[in-house]
């Protein structure tokens, strides 16, 4: 067994690497800078943690995520790897003690918030230790074109230049377009880096988009079906978080909340209640979750549509980190688009940007919102849409999303499409979607009359078609490149060259329409439990022991053993040290820490079964 496989088994309890991990580790150990784009849950941390154990010096991990730092350090220490973090949650005494331990060589891995890197105190400490590697987590934060731009990330390269010897530098992210990837290379000053994209696909995730008449009624039905499972509900505003959390609590569900309007202490308490399984559901704004390593989140529901595909995929990706089947459900409503436009127009401008740069960023935000709206309204494969957005091509049908499982029929909508295109043209290509719909429906509002739009030949020519149907045709026309919406708070519809053939009847326009009123939402199955018909007594006892140990040590249950490890233990029923090490997720350190207690449960169970 080579060194990297030995470390993988000894500290992490696995015998095989996941896709891309071994190739990344080999390049980093050889001393090569690296840029690694891997989906959430693909095991990015192992790609720098194993090299950190092989290097002679210390590894600095730059992370903007206080919750992730704490979680990662806790897991590393429970696996026998000495690690620490430096961020604003430490008291002055704790911070001083951590710095003292760093100088004394107590740690192999140190997680640091980017704001701390160029402080005199930290630079002084770095001058007294050997730094072998700097790993930049959430590396997309360095780019103004990324969805989570953080100016403090721009100083990482300056920190590296302050070091006596340049270490290996590697950057990791789950979501990065080509433009963002190029920014990461340039701004972090990576040298001849090894580049890898292991793929954006998360095969264990099931994607659904639903358009409910009442979001509250739909949400309660979804939660009732999943009431024993751990999940996150994302809302677009603090107000929505408060309302949804109150609704769930009033109905008797174990829910808590998280948003920037709460005090630090309340946010911390609520987060810990969720992470430690004291609460089943977290209702939150996008302020929650980035870097949360809770492995048993089995569903993520977006109560509102987020602003971009990048944000959506990152938030949805917090489901199923343990590799088990999980669900990502988006509840779409047209009001979500209007709210997001308002947020774009009223967001705090970056003080480091001039007006032209701010306008460029604003246009990009609108384009992202447009793509997110396309995702929410498409009848094509949802997984395929996401992967194409990030530059990957798929077969067009995944079989694991609501659109793929919904029965559709194809309707000839050529005439309806021509009516819409003609209306856009005859009204001068200077009105938005809602106004065009009102013209087509024969609306009688004062704006239409004052502009003389009621005299157009297209006025009222679709009065017998529903507004939803007209919107569906419009969305398909935009998705397929016949029209586009201009950027800005008040976008107008414009014609594109391909529409000429359609208007002149040279080509047909077909529309996919669902046979069912609502797309398919997969019924949840029991996760992380023995299959039907199996004797679950042992599994229940193992889970209870894990709960007791976690409570005693003050850590989340998954830090002791993940659900997947517990399931493998249930099936293998080890009773010797050698057999216990064969359980996936069990390394040498955890064998010493927990093996005897779990094997005692297994032995007692088997003894009772024989008698």
Residues 305, 246 within the same domain:
yes
Residues 155, 13 within the same domain:
yes
* Predicted structure pTM score: 0.79
Residues 484, 466 within the same domain:
yes
**Is 4 strand, coil or helix?**
helix
How far apart are alpha carbons 298 and 231 in whole angstroms? 6
Contacts of 184 (CB under 8 A, 6+ apart): 35, 139, 140, 142, 143, 171, 173, 176, 190
Residues 603, 576 within the same domain:
yes
Residue 320 main-chain phi, psi, to 5 deg: 70, 30
- Give, in order, the Cα–Cα distances in Å from 544 to each of 58, 318, 554, 560, 561: 38, 25, 15, 12, 12
- Give, in order, the Cα–Cα distances in Å from 406 to each of 311, 313, 397, 398: 26, 22, 12, 12
Contacts of 400 (CB under 8 A, 6+ apart): 203, 205, 206, 207, 383
Does some domain include residue 401?
no
| Residue 502 pLDDT greater than 70, yes or no | yes
Residues 130, 43 within the same domain:
yes
* Per-residue pLDDT tens digits for 544-597: 999 999 989 888 888 899 888 998 999 999 999 999 999 999 999 999 999 999
Residues 481, 598 within the same domain:
no
Residues 352, 214 within the same domain:
yes
Domain boundary among 197, 222, 252: 197
Domain boundary among 482, 514, 546: 514
Tell me the CATH number at 471: 1.10.10.10
Please give the share of the chain, as a percent, with pLDDT higher than 70.
Answer: 95
Tell me the CATH number at 96: 3.40.50.300
Does some domain include residue 245?
yes
Domain boundary among 197, 225, 258: 197
How far apart are alpha carbons 30 and 49 in whole angstroms? 15
Does some domain include residue 395?
no
- DSSP single-letter state for residue 35: E
Where are the extended beta strands (E) located within 246-338?
Answer: 255-258, 281-284, 297-302, 326-331
Does some domain include residue 261?
yes
* Per-residue pLDDT tens digits for 432-476: 999 999 999 999 888 999 899 999 999 999 999 999 889 889 988
What sections of 13-127 are H helices per DSSP?
21-29, 44-54, 66-78, 92-103, 120-126
Residues 192, 335 within the same domain:
no
- The closest of 409, 377, 408 to 210, measured between CA atoms, is 377
Of the listed ranges 106-115, 120-129, 146-155, 267-276, the one predicted with least confidence: 146-155
Residues β-bridged to residue 62: 112, 136
Interior angle at CA 307, CA 263 and CA 205, nearest 5: 90
- DSSP single-letter state for residue 106: -
| Residue 177 pLDDT greater than 90, yes or no | no
Range of the domain at 159: 3-197
How far apart are alpha carbons 282 and 285 in whole angstroms? 10
Contacts of 191 (CB under 8 A, 6+ apart): 33, 169
Interior angle at CA 399, CA 519 and CA 412, nearest 5: 55
Query: Are the C-beta atoms of 84 and 107 separated by less than 8 Å?
Result: yes
């Amino acid at each position: 067994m080579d060194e990297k496989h030995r470390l993988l088994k000894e500290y992490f309890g696995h015998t095989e690497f996941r896709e891309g991990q071994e190739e990344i580790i080999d390049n980093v150990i050889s001393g090569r800078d690296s840029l690694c784009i891997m989906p959430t849950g693909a095991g990015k941390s192992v790609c720098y943690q194993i090299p950190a154990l092989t290097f002679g010096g210390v590894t600095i991990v730059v992370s903007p995520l206080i919750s992730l730092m704490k979680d990662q350090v806790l897991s590393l220490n429970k696996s026998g790897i000495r690690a620490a973090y430096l961020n604003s949650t430490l008291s002055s005494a704790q911070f001083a003690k951590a710095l003292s331990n760093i100088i004394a060589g107590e740690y192999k891995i140190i997680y640091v918030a980017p704001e701390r890197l160029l402080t005199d105190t930290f630079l002084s400490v770095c001058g007294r230790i050997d730094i072998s590697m700097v790993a930049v987590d959430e590396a997309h934060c360095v780019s103004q074109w990324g969805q989570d731009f953080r100016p403090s990330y721009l100083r990482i390269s300056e920190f590296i230049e302050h070091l006596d010897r340049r270490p290996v530098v590697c950057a990791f992210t789950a979501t990065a377009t080509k433009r963002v990837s190029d920014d990461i290379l340039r701004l972090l000053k990576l040298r001849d880096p090894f580049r890898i994209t292991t793929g954006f696909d998360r095969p264990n995730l099931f994607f659904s988009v639903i358009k409910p008449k009442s979001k509250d009624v739909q949400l309660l039905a979804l939660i009732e079906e999943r009431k024993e499972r751990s999940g996150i509900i994302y809302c677009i505003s603090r107000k929505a978080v408060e309302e949804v959390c109150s609704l769930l609590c009033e109905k008797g569900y174990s829910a808590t909340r998280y948003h920037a309007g709460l005090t630090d202490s309340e946010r911390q308490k609520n987060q810990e209640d969720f992470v430690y399984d004291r609460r089943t559901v977290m209702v939150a704004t996008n302020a929650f979750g980035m870097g949360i390593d809770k492995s048993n989140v089995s569903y993520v529901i977006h109560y509102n549509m987020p602003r971009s595909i990048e944000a959506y995929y990152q938030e949805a990706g917090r489901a199923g980190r343990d590799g088990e089947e999980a669900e990502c459900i988006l509840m779409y409503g047209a009001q979500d688009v209007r709210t997001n436009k308002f947020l774009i127009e009223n967001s705090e401008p970056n003080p480091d940007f001039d007006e032209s740069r701010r306008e460029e960023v604003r246009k990009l935000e609108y384009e992202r919102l447009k793509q997110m709206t396309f995702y929410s309204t498409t009848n094509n494969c949802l997984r395929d849409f996401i992967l194409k957005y990030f530059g990957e091509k798929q077969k067009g049908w995944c079989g694991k999303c609501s659109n793929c499982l919904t029965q559709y029929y194809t309707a000839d909508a050529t005439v309806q499409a021509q009516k819409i295109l003609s209306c856009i043209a005859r009204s001068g290509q200077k009105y938005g979607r809602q106004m065009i719909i009102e013209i087509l429906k024969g609306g009688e509002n004062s704006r239409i009359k004052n502009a003389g739009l009621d005299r157009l030949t297209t006025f009222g020519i679709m009065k017998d078609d529903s507004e939803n149907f007209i919107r569906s045709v419009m969305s398909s026309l935009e998705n397929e490149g016949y029209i586009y919406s201009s950027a800005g708070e008040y976008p107008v519809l414009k014609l594109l060259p391909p529409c000429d053939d359609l208007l002149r009847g040279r080509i047909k326009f077909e529309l996919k329409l669902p046979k069912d009123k609502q797309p398919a939402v997969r019924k949840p199955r029991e996760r992380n439990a023995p299959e039907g018909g199996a004797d679950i007594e042992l599994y229940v006892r193992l889970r209870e022991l894990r709960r007791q140990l976690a409570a005693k040590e003050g850590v989340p249950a998954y830090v002791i053993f993940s659900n997947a490890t517990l399931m493998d233990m249930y099936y293998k029923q080890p009773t010797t040290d050698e057999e216990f090490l064969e359980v996936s997720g069990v390394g040498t350190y955890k064998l010493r820490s927990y093996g005897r207690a779990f094997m005692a449960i297994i032995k007692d169970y088997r003894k009772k079964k024989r008698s």
